[in-house]
């Protein structure tokens, strides 16, 4: 036995299950659609992967068991509080969250900004239900626990282990409705790989996250509510009706999934100018799916006080805008500075 092996202490990893296809069940093993997500409990998920015991001691919790399309801000807040509480314990080395793929990128970015710990936090998921032939969840779970148990996965922000790749919560997005390899990190690329117990990193995240984040859960009121922020899309023939309805309903922020470099149809731009005049924060992101949205002279950013989302997609831009507004930051210059840092 080597000296390292003699001193190896089995790490403890908390596994929080929230539902998703990884916990999905179908009537027939040949079905990869037409199943119910969020059915199988965390104990059954773990029992299907005996190899986990060689990697870490597991503390399992069932936080929810839902289809992630139905996730809401109250569950994000509950999850972030639980993650912070567990990571504050000396005997927890890392944490894994089993989640649905559909909104994984939003939950991951939410935690990237609200987890106040440098310990590894790794989300994982599956594209095929637990009951399917060639289900991908068990291997993804093993890889996620392998990563969360590693000291060198610390201080990298929230990570996602999926299909042998390691992604940053900031960059990952779902890019396929059906493929087992359903995620990518456009523009930035993956952080590294996890395969057969080996972990390899190729780059670090440079934007602020976790312990460097200014966002504190305590700033969010006890009602489990975040300021109302909605996403709209600019497209050919778009009407201003949605913007007007949102403003009348009291929305505090609007993220526009614009065309190209976050450009906005003239009809929508007039409605958003009126929204700005009524104090609504407006962020320009893009519906393209990759690239960044840059402030530029042609865009109405300065004239109207719009904020550009950089490389954040509309769903993540919404998370950041909600957190900023919850902390009382709504001035365009302050919001732009936050979008430039996070
Ligand atoms: C979900 O997001 O909960 C269902 C879809 C999936 O996990 O792939």
pLDDT in tens, 98-114: 999 999 999 999 999 99
DSSP for 268-311, please give it: HHHHHHHHHHTT-EEEEEESSSSS-B---TTSSHHHHT-EE-BT
pLDDT tens digits, 284-322 = 999 999 999 998 766 689 999 999 999 999 999 999 999
CA dist., res. 100 & res. 312, Å (int): 20
- Ligand 1 mean position, distance from CA 20 (Å): 4
- Ligand 1 mean position, distance from CA 102 (Å): 5
Place of tokens 């990759």: 290
Q: Report the SS3 class of residue 125.
A: coil
CA dist., res. 152 & res. 255, Å (int): 35
Question: What length is written for the chain?
Answer: 342
Closest by CA position to 108, among listed 18, 198, 41: 18
Mutation to probe ligand 1, out of 22, 31, 37, 124 (largest number of atoms < 8 A from CB): 37
Q: For residue 5, what pLDDT is reported?
A: 67
Q: For residue 6, what pLDDT is reported?
A: 72
- Ligand 1 mean position, distance from CA 3 (Å): 43
The atom number, within ligand 1, closest to the CA of 20 reads 3
Nearest CA to ligand 1 atom 1: 100
Which token pair is 27? Answer: 């009537």
Greater pLDDT, 36 or 5: 36
Which token pair is 63? Answer: 């936080």
- Ligand 1 mean position, distance from CA 294 (Å): 32
Q: For residue 167, what pLDDT is reported?
A: 98
Which token pair is 44? Answer: 């059954």
The atom number, within ligand 1, closest to the CA of 125 reads 7
Share of the chain above pLDDT 70, in %: 96
CA dist., res. 29 & res. 10, Å (int): 35
Nearest CA to ligand 1 atom 2: 100
Nearest CA to ligand 1 atom 7: 100
Share of the chain above pLDDT 90, in %: 93
Q: For residue 308, what pLDDT is reported?
A: 96
- Ligand 1 mean position, distance from CA 106 (Å): 13
CA dist., res. 310 & res. 234, Å (int): 17
Contact 266, 260 (CB under 8 A): no
∠ CA 218-124-181, rounded to 5°: 135
The atom number, within ligand 1, closest to the CA of 38 reads 3
pLDDT at 186 over 60: yes
pLDDT tens digits, 249-272 = 999 999 999 999 999 999 999 999
- Ligand 1 mean position, distance from CA 247 (Å): 31
C-alpha 284 chain-centroid distance: 19
pLDDT band at 224 (very low <50, low <70, confident <90, very high): low
pLDDT band at 220 (very low <50, low <70, confident <90, very high): confident
Mean pLDDT on 173-177: 98
Give residue ranges with CB within 6 A of ligand 1: 19-21, 37, 67-69, 100-102, 125, 127
Helices assigned H by DSSP within the chain: 3-7, 42-47, 52-55, 73-87, 104-114, 137-148, 241-248, 266-277, 301-304, 314-326, 332-341
Q: For residue 94, what pLDDT is reported?
A: 98
Mutation to probe ligand 1, out of 65, 69, 160 (largest number of atoms < 8 A from CB): 69
Whether the model pTM is above 0.85: yes
pLDDT band at 219 (very low <50, low <70, confident <90, very high): confident
Mean pLDDT on 197-223: 92
pLDDT tens digits, 278-289 = 999 999 999 999
Mutation to probe ligand 1, out of 68, 106, 108, 181 (largest number of atoms < 8 A from CB): 68
Q: For residue 225, what pLDDT is reported?
A: 83
Distances in whole angstroms, Cα of residue 310 to Cα of each of 141, 316, 340:
32, 11, 7
Active site residues: 21, 101
Contact 101, 3 (CB under 8 A): no
CA dist., res. 314 & res. 282, Å (int): 11
């Amino acid at each position: 036995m080597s000296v390292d092996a003699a001193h190896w202490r089995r790490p403890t990893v908390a596994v929080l299950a929230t539902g998703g296809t990884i916990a999905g069940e179908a009537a027939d093993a040949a079905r990869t659609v037409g199943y119910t997500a969020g059915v199988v409990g965390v104990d059954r998920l773990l029992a299907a992967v005996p190899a986990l015991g060689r990697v870490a001691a597991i503390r399992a919790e069932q936080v929810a068991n839902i289809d992630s399309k139905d996730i809401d801000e109250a569950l994000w807040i509950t999850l972030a509080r639980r993650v912070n509480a567990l990571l504050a314990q000396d005997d927890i080395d890392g944490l894994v969250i089993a989640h649905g793929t559909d909104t994984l990128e939003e939950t991951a970015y939410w935690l990237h900004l609200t987890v106040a710990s440098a310990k590894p936090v790794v989300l994982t998921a599956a594209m095929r239900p637990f009951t399917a032939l060639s289900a991908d969840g068990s291997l993804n779970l093993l890889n996620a626990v392998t990563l969360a148990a590693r000291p060198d996965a610390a201080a990298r922000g929230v990570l996602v282990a999926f299909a042998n790749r390691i992604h940053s919560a900031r960059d990952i997005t779902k890019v396929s409705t059906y493929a087992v390899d359903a995620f990518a990190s456009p523009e930035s690329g993956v952080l590294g790989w996890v395969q057969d117990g080996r972990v390899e990193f190729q780059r670090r995240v440079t934007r602020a996250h976790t312990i460097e984040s200014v966002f504190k859960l305590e700033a969010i009121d006890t009602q489990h509510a975040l300021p109302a922020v909605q996403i709209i899309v600019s497209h050919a023939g778009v009407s201003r009706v949605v913007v007007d309805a949102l403003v009348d309903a009291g929305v505090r922020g609007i993220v526009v999934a614009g065309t190209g470099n976050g450009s906005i149809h003239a009809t929508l731009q007039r409605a958003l100018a009126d929204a700005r005049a009524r104090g609504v924060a407006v962020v320009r992101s893009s519906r393209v799916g990759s690239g960044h949205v840059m402030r530029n002279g042609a865009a109405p950013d300065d004239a109207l006080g719009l904020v550009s989302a950089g490389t954040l997609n509309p769903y993540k831009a919404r998370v950041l805008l909600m957190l900023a507004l919850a902390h009382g930051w709504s001035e365009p210059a302050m919001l732009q500075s936050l979008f430039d840092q996070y």
